[in-house]
Every structure is written in C-alpha cells, then in structure tokens.
Structure 1
Amino acid sequence: MQRRWANMTLGIALVLFLTALVFHRHVWAPYLESMALAGLAGGVADWYAVTALFRHPLGIKWLPHTSIISANRDRIIDALATLVETELLSVGFIESNIEKLQISQQLVHLLQSSPSPEIQRVLTDAANQLLDLIPEEKIASSLEHFTTERAHTVNLSDYIVSLVKWLIQSENDRAFFKFLAHHVVQVLNSVEFTEDMENRLKDMLEKYTKTTTQKLVLGLLESLGTVDYKDLSVTVKTQLIDWLQSDKAFEQFELALVRIMMTVRDDTGLRDRIEAAKDDLVSHIPWERAVARVMVELRTQLNRESLWGGISDVMTDMADSLRTHPEQQEMLEGLIKRTTVSLLRRYHPVIGRLVRDNLRHMDEHEWIDKLEWYVGRDLQWIRVNGALVGGLVGLLLAVVIHFL
C-alpha cells in the first residue's frame, strides 16, 4: 500500500510537469514546472536510494553500491547477533533481572494453587503424547544390550565372596542371622507348620515301626495317650526355637558363612556354575514385557482422577513447609538463582549463535523479503516525503528566483 502511494506521488509529479509544459505560456506555469521537476528529482532519488538498499535498481547490477543489504549480509548478521548477545540480552542485564525476582515467594504461591481442570487435562494429554513417542522396543533392546554387556564384566562370585566377608568383618552377620531367625520362628509358630509337624512325626514313627509287636505297642501307647503327636511337635518346635536363639546357632551360622565364602572363592567349578547361572538369568529377562508393563502402568496412573489429588496434596505440603520455614525459602531461592546464573554464563554464547545460525539458514530472497516487510513500508514513506519536500523546495526556489 505504501509503495502504491509512493508511485502515485511520482505519477502526480510527472503529470504536473507535463501540465506545466502544455500551459507554459501562463504565469503560473514556471512555478508548477519548478515544483514538479524538484518533486520528480526528489522522488526518483529516494526511490533509487530505497531500492538500492534491497536490490539492484531496474535490475542493473553494474551500478555501484546497490543491493547493499544483500552484499553486506554476513556483516549485518554478525552485528545483529553481537547486539543481541552483548547489549539487548547481555549477561549482566539478565543477572540483574534474575536478582530482582522473588522466586521462592512465587513458587510458594504456585504450589498453593491447585492446577485447574483445563491445565490438568493439557498436562495429561501432553504426558500421554510423550509416552506415545517413547520407542518401547528400542528401550527394551538397549536395556537388554546394556545388561548383557554389564553382566559379562561383573564377576558375581567375587561379589558374593566380598559380601560375605563384609558381613563377617563388620559384624552385620549377627543382625542378618537375627533377621533370618525371626522369620523362621514366625514360620515355626504358625498353625500350618504345627499340623504338618504332627503328621510328619506320626508318619515317621509308623514308618520305623516294622514288626507286629512294635505296631501293637505303638497302638497301645497311642490309645493310652502316652504318645501325643501334638505335644511332641510342640516340644520339637520349642527346642528348635531355643536353639535358634542360642549363641551356638549363631556360631554355626557364622561358620557356614565362612565355609560358603571359602568354597565360592576356591572352587573353580562352583564359580563357573554361578557365572553361567548369572548369564542365563540375564539372558532370560523379558525386557519387552517389562517395558510394556511399565508403560501400561504409567498410562494407567496418568489417567486416574486421584493422581492430581495426590499431586495437589504434595504441592500443598511443600508450600506449607516453605512458608513456615523462611530459611528454606532463602536456601531454595539462592540455589535456583546460583544455578540459573551458572547455566546462563555457560550457555550465554548460544544466544548469539542461535541468532547467527537462524539468519544464515534463510534463503537470500527470504532474508531480503523479511527485512523489506519490516522496514520497507516506512522507507516507502521516505519516497513520498522526498517528492513532496522536493516539490515544495522547487516551488520556493522558483518564487525566490522570480522576485530576485
């Protein structure tokens, strides 16, 4: 639109000049001619100057100092990148603005306000889309490859020996024994174990009672109540529990650990079997099913309505903790600001590099068109102003010359 007005201005000046030539015998003709010529000169000069910024006027490439922006493209890009990096978004400017921020207070306010249903839906959809982009098969293959390689480099037998040695030297073997003994006692005190013990004692006595006389005596003792399998099982269970709680049981356990450690350390065949079992176990891990199961569980959790309720509770608790502990707010704010400034100083040159790369990747015609779109409209008004000012100057000069 602005270019049309500029061209119309030149057209009007040309029409006025032709009109002055046609009516050159009239008194006002010299004034109109002077004004039109000056307007044409000013308009054409400004047209040439504006056009020379972006391209070659009339396509004539041998004219000097034309297509200035295209010819100095690299220098302009470097100047723009330097301006953005060192002036507009300098390290000092960004640091000063970071220091003014009340990050901890804004964080507390953010944690106190639960996400709206719209934000929850957007975040849920975004999370589901991210999950859809995850290549499950590739992750499973990478995990399988990683675990297989690591398994070959890990000597499990040495780890077992080191673990047993550490248990004994650090005296954690006693705590480990107490842990095992506690669970064994729970099993011994269960009703199922007592009933199974009764049946096994009864089967054992009947198995070793072979002669007819022994069977008659056993049946007589059972009928008289002398042999009570329940009491017998309780007695055996009590003896086992007492033995587990004695120092002798721990000594036997510790001795067994030492024997295990020495056997694993010195028995080459056992070490080979342990390593083979380790490799076989690693090779049979169903990574694809495991990854698929994890992804299904993640999607299920994301789509649960209770998820955001739990997240809101956690956010509220965090906000309350920060609000009641100002020192935590100060520590958090200092940590965030220090981290941000550190990252800023490390990656600040990326700003200028991004500007340079983005501008250099533009096609030359795209580069010129964008610049002309942003500033060319105002430059067209310069053409209009040149024609008008030139015409007024020409008219003024004609008047001055007439009176002189």
Structure 2
Amino acid sequence: MTMRRKANGSLILLSLLFVGAAVLLYLYPGNWWLRLLLFTAEAGLVGALADLFAVTVLFRHPLGMRWVPHTAIIPRNRDKLVEGVAAMVEKQLLSKNMLSDKLMNYRLIDAVIEWVDRRNDTHSFAERGWQLLMSWLRGANLEALASKLDVHARSALSGVNISRYAGRGLKWVLANSDFQKWLGHLIDYAAKRASSEETLAAIKAMVAKEKDKFVNEGGSIARWFKQKLLDFAEAADAINLDEAANTLFRDLQSFMKELQNPSHELRVMIETRVLALADNLETSEEIGATIESWKQEMLRELSFQPSIQALLDNVKSVILGGESMKYVVVDDRALNALDVKSWVTGLLAAYWETFKNDTEAKDQLDGYLKQFVRGILEQEHALIGKIARRTLESFTEERLVSFIERKVDTDLQRIRLNGAFIGSLVGALLFLFLYGIYEPLLEVLF
C-alpha cells in the first residue's frame, strides 16, 4: 500500500469514526467513552483535513476554487522557484569551491585508467588507438602538417649540437648493435646490384665514355691520330673494350664476394674508422664548428617539407591504401599495412602497461588533468546554473507541479498521516484534561 493510500485511508477512517461516534452518542448520551471517541475522531478529522488542504494548496486550487486566497502556491511562483533552484544548484549544491575541493581529492587519472580497463582489454585499447590513427589520417591535411613539422624541425635543429649528439648516438649504435651485421646487409645489397645486367651496362657505358674522352682531347691532328691509333689497336685486337668492361665487372663481383667476409680488412677498417669518427664528433671542437656551420647553412638553404610530406604520403598510402613500401637493403621484403599495424598496436599496448605502473607519469598527468578541469570550472561554472534554469524553464506549469509532487509525494502523505494521528492524540488528551481534571476541579472549588 502506498503512502497516499494510507493517508486517504486514515481520512476515511476518521470520518467514519466521527459519524459513528456522533450517532451513538445521540442514541446513548450517557456513555463517557462515546464522548472520548467523538473528541478523538473530531480532532483527528480536523487535523487530517487541515493537512490535506495545506498539501493541496501547494500545487493547485482545492476543488478548482480559484477565489480562495493563497492557493496553487508553486504554479503562481514558478519563476521565483526556477530562479531559486538554479541559484541553489549553482551556488550551494554544486558551488565552485565545493567542486574544486572534490576535484583536488579525486584521482582523475586512476578513474580514466579504470574506465579504459573496464571497457577494453589491452588488445582492444591498442586496436582502438589504431582506428583513431586511421581516422585521423583520412582527414589530415598532410601538406599543412609537413609545413608545421618543417618549422619545428628547423627550430629544434638550430639549437642542437648535432656533432656531439651524433657522436654519442653513433657510439650507442656501435655498442648496442651488431655493426658488422648491418654492414653485411648493405654489402649484400650492393653485391646484388653489382651483379645485375644494369651494372654491366653502366660499366660498358663508362668505358665507352672514357674512350670518347681520350679520343676527343687535344687538337684536330692529335684527335685524328688517336682515333686512327685506337682503330688500329681494336682491329689488331690489342684493345677490346667489351672484354675490358667484362673484366671490370668480374673483378667487381669478386671484390664484393670477398667483402662479404666479416673479417675482411676493409670491413674491420670501416668499423675502426666509424668508432674514431664517433670520438671525433663528440670531442673535436673544430669538427663541431664545421658541422655547426654546415648545419646552419643547410637550414637556411634547404627545406625539409618535401621530404616530410613524401614520407607522410607514403605512410598514408601504406596504411590506408594497402600499398607496400620496399626496404632499401632487403629486396625480398616490403613494409605493408599489417606490419605497421602490428608495430603500432604493439607499441601502444606496451606503453599502456608501462604507463599504468609508472607512478610519476600518472601523478604528472593527473596534475595536468586537474589543472585543465579547474580551468574549465573557473570559466564555465555559470553553465551549471544556466543548464538548471533552462531545464526548469522548459517545464510547463503542469509538468513542473507533477515533477515536484512526484519527488516529495511520500513525505507530503506522511504529513497528512501525522496530522491525523497528532490531531486524534490531541483530541484524546483534551478530553481527558477537560473531563478528568478541569471539570472535577471546578466541582471541588465551586
């Protein structure tokens, strides 16, 4: 049974008791308990009716009687109520100081991490990051991005000591990687290129060019004499340019094959010279000044934008267009979208797990988030009151009354029950006082 039904039931019960007590008292006028029942029912009925009237006039005119003053209080004061509620929400319930205090005592970054982990596992998080990257690439203006990156790159490089960092980086590469292995990849690639028909054709073209250069140098008589001499040598098979080109081609292949041996003296010398170069780059002031001068001149004369844009275009075509990008050294492999996706998602997943265990990084990011939210709170706190005001202003009188009545209906019906109970109790106490104390006292005194 709802509280409203209980309140209505109490009113009906008191009405029946009042009528029944009045009839019985008329038929049996001498019974004191009938008078007690009448007193009690009458007082309870008055209390119940008074509270029913009070509760009703908050929301509407009782029985439609608009002439009764001080009724339909909430609809008549709708504007004041809306303004009061909006002010209360903005300045008390959700005040700027209260929200700021709550913000400082709350770990935003932990909530973000918990929300992400609850919605996705690490794999799904990385997959979502990949989808966001693809979505960004589809709408990105790569030309404008390349221009911005060019500006940032120039600004960053202008203040960096390239020589020192290049020396340190080169030392790190030599200490943490197999230099001979990478050098072997380059030599293998060069050997394959050297053994191609294109290389043989290039050697023959070079020999023919040198022949023409030799013949065409000097005066007209010298040129004629050298041409005749060369023709005679070729006719006598003393000079065979094709054989010379083939010999050079074979010697080149033989040299590249020997160079594929990791212990070859040239490879050992290259590694030694690279290590010495790293030391010189890091310590030599003369080399540093030379590189700095070269760097500043290059930054003034050259632009990185075309290279950056070409790289971005290639990456976009690989990721979105399904194309592939061949490796420079390894001919039988190519970079495709699956490779990039595997690398990106793996990197995101690894970084996410590392980030969750990095207390310092989380504290720093939490501070940035709180600073960002606090800035929004300082500038946009008035929106809370505006939202509350606009929401309530969109309510019609009927909807506003119904909304408030639903929220407080249980408490209002309890007020009616309390009125009936307290009225009945007061009526019973008055009867006992009047006929149990006051009337006997008057008889004694007078």
TM-score by length of 1: 0.57
Q: 1:339 aligns with which of 356, 372, 375?
A: 372
Matches within 5 A, 1:3-152: 3-23=4-24, 24-26=26-28, 27=31, 28-101=33-106, 106=110, 110=113, 115=117, 119=121
Q: 1:224 aligns with which of 235, 238, 243?
A: 238
Separation in 2 of the partners of 1:39 and 1:361?
A: 41
Q: 1:224 to 1:215 in 2, by over 3 A?
A: closer
Q: 1:358 aligns with which of 391, 394, 408?
A: 391
Q: 2:284 maps to what in 1?
A: none
Partner residue, 1:400 = 433
User: 1:310–1:390: structure 2 CA closer, same or farther, 3 Å change rule?
Assistant: same
Quick check: 328-337 or 390-399, which moved more? 328-337
Q: Gaps spanning 5+ residues in structure 2: where?
A: 145-150, 159-188, 216-227, 250-300, 302-312, 324-336, 440-446
Picking from 302, 320, 330, the partner of 1:293 is 320
SS of the equivalent of 1:362 reads coil
> CA 1:55–1:194 in 2, change beyond 3 Å: closer, same or farther?
same
- CA–CA distance in structure 2, aligned partners of residues 80 and 363 of structure 1: 16
**308, 315, 321: which one pairs with 2:352?**
315
Judged with a 3 Å threshold, the aligned counterparts in structure 2 of structure 1 residues 33 and 293 are, in CA distance, closer, same or farther, namely same
Pairing 1:195–2:200 present: yes
Q: Does the 8 A contact of 1:9 with 1:387 survive in 2?
A: yes
TM-superposition CA deviations, 1:32-64 (whole Å, max 9, x none): 222222222111111111111122211222322
CA offset digits 1:332-384 (Å, max 9, x no partner): 45433333322211111111112112222233333222211111111111112
Amino acid at match of 1:197: A
Task: Provide the residue aligned with 1:371 in structure 2.
Answer: 404
CA distance in 1, matches of 2:395, 2:206: 91
**d(CA) in 1 for partners of 2:406 and 2:202?**
94
Distance verdict in 2 for CA 1:124–1:366, change over 3 Å: farther
Q: State TM-score, norm by structure 2.
A: 0.52
Once the two structures are superposed, residues 193-241 of structure 1 have per-residue CA deviations (whole angstroms, 9 ceiling, x without a partner) of 54222444678889x9xxxx899647425x334535528989xxxxxxx
Residue equivalent to 2:183: none
Residue 276 of structure 2 corresponds to none
Partner AA of 1:339 in structure 2: F
2:200/2:246 contact within 8 Å kept: no
* 1:227-263 deviations in Å (ceiling 9; x for gaps): 35528989xxxxxxxxxxxxxxxxxxxxxxxxxx9xx
- 1:349 corresponds, among 376, 382, 386, to 382
Amino acid aligned to 2:105: K
For the 8 Å contact 1:194–1:233, the answer to whether it is kept is no
The question of whether the paired residues in 2 share the 8 Å contact of 1:46 and 1:382 is answered with: yes
Do the aligned partners of residues 387 and 319 (structure 1) sit closer, same or farther apart at CA in structure 2, a change above 3 Å counting?
closer
The offset of 1:386, in angstroms, is 1.0
Shift of residue 97, structure 1, vs aligned partner: 2.8
Q: Is the 1:131–1:295 contact (alpha carbons within 8 Å) kept by the matching residues of 2?
A: no
Deviations 1:247-294 (A, max 9, x none): xxxxxxxxxxxxxx9xxxxxxxxxxxxxxxxxxxxxxxx9xx98x937
Distance 1:295 1:88 in 2: 55
Which structure exhibits the higher relative contact order, with contacts defined as CA atoms closer than 8 Å and separated by 6 or more residues? 1
Structure 1: how far apart are the matches of 2:354 and 2:365? 16
**Whole-Å separation in 2 of the counterparts to 1:115 and 1:332:** 17
Alignment partners' CA distance in 2, 1:129 and 1:34: 79
Summarize the Cα distance change of 1:199–1:306 in structure 2 as closer, same or farther, 3 Å threshold: closer
**Aligned-residue CA RMSD in angstroms?**
5.3
Structure 1, gaps ≥5 residues long: 151-162, 171-185, 235-260, 262-285
Distance, in Å, in 2 between the alignment partners of 1:362 and 1:130 is 40
Give the Å deviation of 1:127.
8.3
Give the count of matched residue pairs: 302
Aligned equivalents of 2:382, 2:232: Cα separation in 1: 99
Q: Distance in 2 between matches of 1:69 and 1:131?
A: 54
Instruction: Specify whether residues 202 and 333 from structure 1 end up closer, same or farther in structure 2 by C-alpha distance, changes over 3 A only.
Output: closer
1:274 maps to which residue? Answer: none
- Mapped partners of 1:130, 1:331: distance in 2: 24
| CA distance in structure 2 between the partners assigned to 1:360 and 1:346 by the alignment | 24
Map 1:266-285 onto structure 2 (within 5 A): none
Contact 1:78 1:356 in 2 (8 A): yes
Distance 1:64 1:348, change over 3 A: same
Q: Which has the larger radius of gyration?
A: 2
Contact 1:35 1:390 in 2 (8 A): yes
Q: Which amino acid aligns with 1:79?
A: G
DSSP 3-state at the match of 1:224: coil
Q: Give the Cα separation in 2 of the matches to 1:217 and 1:32.
A: 152
